[in-house]
Structure 1
Amino acid sequence: MYYCKHKHRIGLILISFMVGIHIAVRNKGKHHSFGIGARLLDNQINNYLTDQIRKQENWINSSIPTVINSNNIKYIVYDCSKTRPGACGGWADRMSGILSTCIISVLTKQPFLVNFDKPCTLQDYLVPATFEWRYNASIFQRSNTAYHNLIDYRSKKIKSFLTGSQDINIFFSMGVNFIRMNWDFTESFRKRPNIGSEIPWLTKLTYADIYKQMFDMLFKPSPLLDQALKEQYRTRRSRPKIACAHVRVGGNPTIPKDLKRKNKPLEILWQYFDTLNKTEYDLLISSDSEQVKDAGKKRYRGNMIDTVGKIIHIDRRSKTDPNEGFLKMMLDFYTLITCDKLIITNSGFGILTAYVRQTDDGLYCWRGRDLRPCSRYTVHNTFPSEILAPGS
């Protein structure tokens, strides 16, 4: 019975993505993403989607073998836990790792779970949205296990399994397969000879829509985060719209081993903020630099708002309480994906917010002295480097 529930949940994963595919196809060439809601579609398209969902559900059910003895179930577990040393990466790195691990679970037909308590327990802030992904330690106690540290270039050893040159089930053959990775391997998965039938949506959806659908399928705010978001809106917002910027600087003294990045001339940001109607817009700067945030607060005293807490990088030691820093990061993330205007810089966190934000309206990319409108569908090309995925 336990496995049957997981079987249905894996079905939900692909069904959700498949609905997203046909919505994206219907709007090909437009810079919009309309979500999963069938209410947005006319009756003809709605009937078509219903038929496609039924076909996909039949395919899913027939492709996953029935397991009578629940002790024989194998699991794929994304791991970012304190029980094992080493890095997990920042928020964007972890979302890329979760995406790739989730795809591995579908390819191997093994239920997908998340074991995440570094530096904080993820489910304190995000809880399951459509299916149960929370890892239970009792699974570890009763099964043979393997831990795969595939962070950064350690992942090279599984490339042939991801692309289909070798059977992926051979590599992930244990009862519980813990996977720590921080890159998006969509392009490797797309090289599989039968990927069109294995996971059809992976060949059709854009990067932006894959991340948007994945995030919404897996996560929703916990009661703690939901209350913090409501409190922030109630106490800090005073205008109908909000313009935001995510400015990654590097070299934060409160974040050990944080490398300094190329300076960004702040006058470029100020020039843009100066053009906005201050009776209409609140302003927010999300940054790893208190100096940048303080400069914004000094220049726009009546409009600049901030999220509560101190800045941390979630994968590096800090003097700040990790729970306080993690909550601030989540408040920043959820605020940025709802901003009416959003400026991003060269960072995985910024790119991820553009993906999940779901619209191109008011999206700007900032490189050096160049600030221009950009698209969530091509933002990873605007900042060409090894962000979210390894270079070619």
Structure 2
Amino acid sequence: MDTYIARETAVVGRAPGETAVVGRAPGETAVVGRDTRERAVVGRDTGEIERARVNSLAIRGKARDISMVALGRQKSVNVHVDSIEPAEVVHTRGDAPSTQTTTLPGYTEKQDSGTKTDNGRETYRPKYVIYLCDSARSCGGWGDRQRGLVSTFLLAHVTGRRFGVNMTSPCDLRRFYQPSQVQWAMGRRRQRTRQQGGFHTALKTVDVDREYPEDVVFVKTNEEHFWQLLVNPHYRAKLPSWALHGKPSFFREAWSRLMKPTQHLQSLLQAFLRQSGYFNRTKPFVCAHVRIGVSRFNPKDTAKRNDVNQLGALWDFFRLYVSNGSDVFMATDHPDVREMSRKKFGSAHHDTGGLMTHVDKTRGDRDRDRACLGFEYTLLDQLVLTCCDVLVTSRSGFSERAALIRGSSENLFRFANGNVTKVTTW
């Protein structure tokens, strides 16, 4: 087990001049204008392909991995967390983030575990749990990150700490999502750390504030911590009521409290939906996510999920709706799947036309612009899936999370092993 001792002071806070709510990169405007790079918002095979030129913020500018980083006035300690593959839990020294408007629904200052004594006088100093996803170690794909982010939010709630998000891999999440009800946007600088193991399992019994007393704790994870916290005697009575109505309700409620698209991402979504005729539809808008996994186009993926040559049942499923006047949307990680759908369904087919990447497998790429653009298209595809009247998911957190955000199990299906089946339980 490797051990690293931090020798420097880590500063945690917003970047100089950065405001409390960050929806765009510094200095960038909310206006969607023209750029030198043209991207297809919707592609039809009728020759009426309309393109939107957008000011792409991305252009400027599955291992279950857990990592905690705690910053405080104590010596630096980095705890390595074991799950399916090695992960990390990290403590470092530093100052707490600046806190002008950070608010958690239902929180009071007495709940925050940050009361200090100054010359006999009680003063308030909040503590934080911050979800971390940087390029130093794998964070998983977008669905994995959503799961880990929501789990960390729940951890912050039950420990009485304020919550933050620091996702910079493959680029800054704040270019695409901004705080909804919870002010999670903040910056930080990080340093070397020391490692040891067992955090996910320990959550069943551990007192987090006793084990990690530092003011700021960074957590890198794609695990679900709900069940561990539910049986933890320190926290089971502190779970919020909105988290106690089942997994779909918990994730959807937490995500809605945390995230809303930036104006840039929302503009891309609205442009796509308008061009696809979504707002004027008289028949169900039918969508599918086909995750192929490892292929010649995606050699860095972790496993093969579906076979590109065994999609007959999905095409038959689409055909039932298209013959009745519906349009279909295809999200996939394999260009051959997209092209087959275009050829089979012509003007009834829609896709974002975007770059296909796995957001975690591009973190080491030298072409940061390309990685960011791939991230943007990934987020756009998922947002479209949340709008569908009929949704077919794959064995992938990406479309499974889309189904949860969509908020209904009605007309929800799953494509796996060459078959389309109705989802009866979430």
Alignment TM class, shorter chain as reference: 0.7 to 0.9
* Matched residue, 1:266: 311
Q: How big is the shift at 1:5?
A: 4.6
Q: How big is the shift at 1:71?
A: 8.6
Q: How big is the shift at 1:208?
A: 0.7
Q: Relative CO higher for 1 or 2, CA cutoff 8 Å, sep ≥ 6?
A: 2
In 1, the alpha carbon distance for the partners of 2:133 and 2:417 equals: 34
In 2, the alpha carbon distance for the partners of 1:280 and 1:315 equals: 38
| 2:327 paired with 1:282 | yes
Q: How big is the shift at 1:66?
A: 6.7
Unaligned runs of 5+ in 2: 1-97
Partner deviation per Cα, 1:108-129 (whole Å, 9 max, x = no partner): 2221100011101101100001
In 2, the alpha carbon distance for the partners of 1:203 and 1:242 equals: 30
Pair 1:147–1:178, CA change in 2 (3 A):
farther
| 2:270 paired with 1:230 | yes
| 2:202 paired with 1:157 | no
* Matched residue, 2:417: 368
Q: TM-score, normalised by structure 1?
A: 0.73
In 2, the alpha carbon distance for the partners of 1:203 and 1:334 equals: 23
Secondary structure in 2 matching 1:182: coil
Q: How big is the shift at 1:339?
A: 0.3
The residue correspondences of 1:67-146 to structure 2 (distance < 5 A) are 67=115, 72-82=125-135, 85-137=136-188
Q: Does the 8 Å CA contact 2:322/2:345 hold for their aligned counterparts? A: no
Which letter maps to 2:288? Answer: A
* Matched residue, 1:293: 338
In 1, the alpha carbon distance for the partners of 2:113 and 2:396 equals: 41
Question: Which has the larger displacement, 362-371 or 94-103?
Answer: 362-371
* Matched residue, 1:216: 256
Secondary structure in 1 matching 2:231: coil
Q: How big is the shift at 1:170?
A: 2.6
In 2, the alpha carbon distance for the partners of 1:174 and 1:213 equals: 29
In 2, the alpha carbon distance for the partners of 1:353 and 1:148 equals: 36
Q: Does the 8 Å CA contact 2:242/2:249 hold for their aligned counterparts? A: no
Pair 1:106–1:148, CA change in 2 (3 A):
farther
* Matched residue, 1:339: 388
| 2:291 paired with 1:248 | yes
Q: How big is the shift at 1:100?
A: 1.7
Which letter maps to 1:313? Answer: H
Q: How big is the shift at 1:260?
A: 2.7
Q: Does the 8 Å CA contact 2:298/2:357 hold for their aligned counterparts? A: yes
Q: How big is the shift at 1:61?
A: 5.7
Question: Which has the larger displacement, 108-117 or 168-177?
Answer: 168-177
Q: TM-score, normalised by structure 2?
A: 0.67
In 2, the alpha carbon distance for the partners of 1:331 and 1:158 equals: 33
Pair 1:73–1:196, CA change in 2 (3 A):
closer
Q: How big is the shift at 1:65?
A: 5.3
Which letter maps to 2:381? Answer: D
In 2, the alpha carbon distance for the partners of 1:309 and 1:302 equals: 18
Task: Give the helix-richer structure, 1 or 2.
Answer: 1
Pair 1:336–1:160, CA change in 2 (3 A):
closer
Secondary structure in 2 matching 1:343: strand
Q: Does the 8 Å CA contact 1:148/1:177 hold for their aligned counterparts? A: no
In 2, the alpha carbon distance for the partners of 1:108 and 1:146 equals: 26
In 2, the alpha carbon distance for the partners of 1:298 and 1:290 equals: 12
In 2, the alpha carbon distance for the partners of 1:202 and 1:185 equals: 16
* Matched residue, 1:41: none
Count of residues in correspondence between the two structures:
315
The residue correspondences of 1:349-364 to structure 2 (distance < 5 A) are 349-364=398-413
Partner deviation per Cα, 1:271-325 (whole Å, 9 max, x = no partner): 1111114463211111111111110000001200111421000001267812221
Q: How big is the shift at 1:159?
A: 3.6
Secondary structure in 1 matching 2:285: strand
* Matched residue, 1:174: 214
Partner deviation per Cα, 1:69-99 (whole Å, 9 max, x = no partner): 78943221111124xx110100111111111
The residue correspondences of 1:303-322 to structure 2 (distance < 5 A) are 303-317=348-362, 321-322=370-371
Pair 1:125–1:231, CA change in 2 (3 A):
same
Which letter maps to 1:333? Answer: Q
Q: How big is the shift at 1:236?
A: 3.3
In 2, the alpha carbon distance for the partners of 1:73 and 1:109 equals: 9
Pair 1:290–1:357, CA change in 2 (3 A):
same
| 2:238 paired with 1:198 | yes
In 2, the alpha carbon distance for the partners of 1:117 and 1:173 equals: 26
In 2, the alpha carbon distance for the partners of 1:255 and 1:197 equals: 44
Q: Does the 8 Å CA contact 2:112/2:127 hold for their aligned counterparts? A: no
Pair 1:355–1:215, CA change in 2 (3 A):
same
Pair 1:260–1:161, CA change in 2 (3 A):
closer
